[in-house]
Amino acid sequence: MSKTAFVFPGQGAQSVGMGKDAYEAYEVSRNVFEQANEALGFSLTDLIFEGPDEQLKQTANTQPALLTVSVALLRALDGKGLKADYVAGHSLGEYSALVAAGVISFEDAVRTVRARGEFMEQAVPGGIGAMAAVLGAERDVLGKLCASITAEGHAVELANMNCPGQIVVSGTAAGVQAVVERGKEEAGAKRVLPLEVSGPFHSSLMKPAAEKLGAVLEGVSMNDAAIPVVANVTASTVTEAAQIRSLLVEQVYSPVLWEDSVRYLIEQGVDTFVEIGSGSVLAGLIKKIDKNLRIISINSVSAIDSLEL
């Protein structure tokens, strides 16, 4: 029997104006934007629709903005009769998945990811940390190179296992620069591309942010998941609120096992992936994992209107 997973994008998928058509077309979507403004105490909606881009790109703004757009599109999709057997999200996107699974209210989620973004920005002073996308290297070989650079005194780790041939590394600026310089020769990389990010996300340098987030999450009400959630940290399903809470803390400084998560879902019989949110980053990654899957991007009103079940 065919199964469906709803998946939600993370940082990097944002763009000024995202979700505006849904805001204008659907009352349920408009309500989500208004709830975000109220929960945060400022007009996140104005920032999403009008920018400026530099401000939207700030982690503390990007995270609640992407969550809001994903949930606004999810609410618009609710009336279409499409149901998920599983949910998952890439890094920040895991919070959208948790809203979809009934684990956390949208208002609590938007306040939490705002704080998460602030903690991640504060964890490492600007210029100290960095990230880079490594294309064409094997995971094990790249992991060994990162371990040897770390042993030389410049911490760098595997951060995102996105799809075959695309791994993101994260750590100190010097550690990431060493991967840029040595990746081709020592790990067989085709290219190493430094990323425009405000910190070394999903590395052990984020542990101070994780501790602060843990304190915030203690005060957030959570339910057991109504739909199984595939966690970034384990690439397997989790449904118990207590376990979800602790995995969200770990997630800040642990690798995002995205490729593993998609393969796990395929093993569970999922053959349709519905990406809900800005852009189509995850659709591209999932295609590279298995090109035979049905992949639907719900990123606009026209995508919802043309949906065929």
Every domain of the chain and the residues it spans = 3-123+205-305, 129-197
- Tell me: the pLDDT tens digits for 181-191? 999 999 999 99
Average pLDDT of span 212-224 = 98
Query: CA triplet 45, 51, 57: central angle to 5 degrees?
Result: 100
pLDDT computed for residue 308 by the predictor: 79
pLDDT at 194 over 80: yes
Which CATH code of 3.40.50.150, 3.40.640.10, 3.30.70.250, 3.40.50.1260 fits the domain covering 129-197?
Answer: 3.30.70.250
Q: Is 90 part of the annotated catalytic residue set? A: no
Residue 163's identity, in one-letter code, is C
How do 156-163 and 86-89 pair as beta strands?
A: unpaired
- Tell me: the pLDDT tens digits for 8-51? 999 999 999 999 999 999 999 999 999 999 999 999 999 999 99
Question: Which one has a higher pLDDT value, 185 or 127?
Answer: 185
Half-sphere exposure of 88 (CA within 13 A, CB side): 31
Q: Which CATH architecture has domain 3-123+205-305?
A: 3-Layer(aba) Sandwich (3.40)
Q: 289-298 — which CB contacts under 8 Å span 24+ positions?
A: 289/163, 289/164, 289/259, 289/262, 289/263, 290/262, 290/266, 293/266, 296/272, 298/73, 298/77, 298/274
Share the mean pLDDT of the chain.
Answer: 97
The structure's pTM equals: 0.97
- Tell me: the pLDDT tens digits for 241-274? 999 999 999 999 999 999 999 999 999 999 999 9
Give me the percent of the chain exceeding a pLDDT of 70: 100
Gap between the Cα atoms of 187 and 145, Å rounded: 7
Confidence of residue 1 (pLDDT cuts 50, 70, 90): confident
Catalytic annotation, pick one of 29, 91, 96, 297:
91
pLDDT at 309 over 80: no
Under the phi-then-psi rule, with left for phi > 0, alpha for psi from -120 to 50, and beta for the rest, what region is 93?
A: alpha
Q: Is 202 part of the annotated catalytic residue set? A: yes
Gap between the Cα atoms of 214 and 208, Å rounded: 10
Catalytic annotation, pick one of 29, 170, 198, 202:
202
- Tell me: the pLDDT tens digits for 198-209? 789 999 999 999
- Tell me: the pLDDT tens digits for 69-109? 999 999 999 989 899 999 999 999 999 999 999 999 999 99
pLDDT computed for residue 10 by the predictor: 96
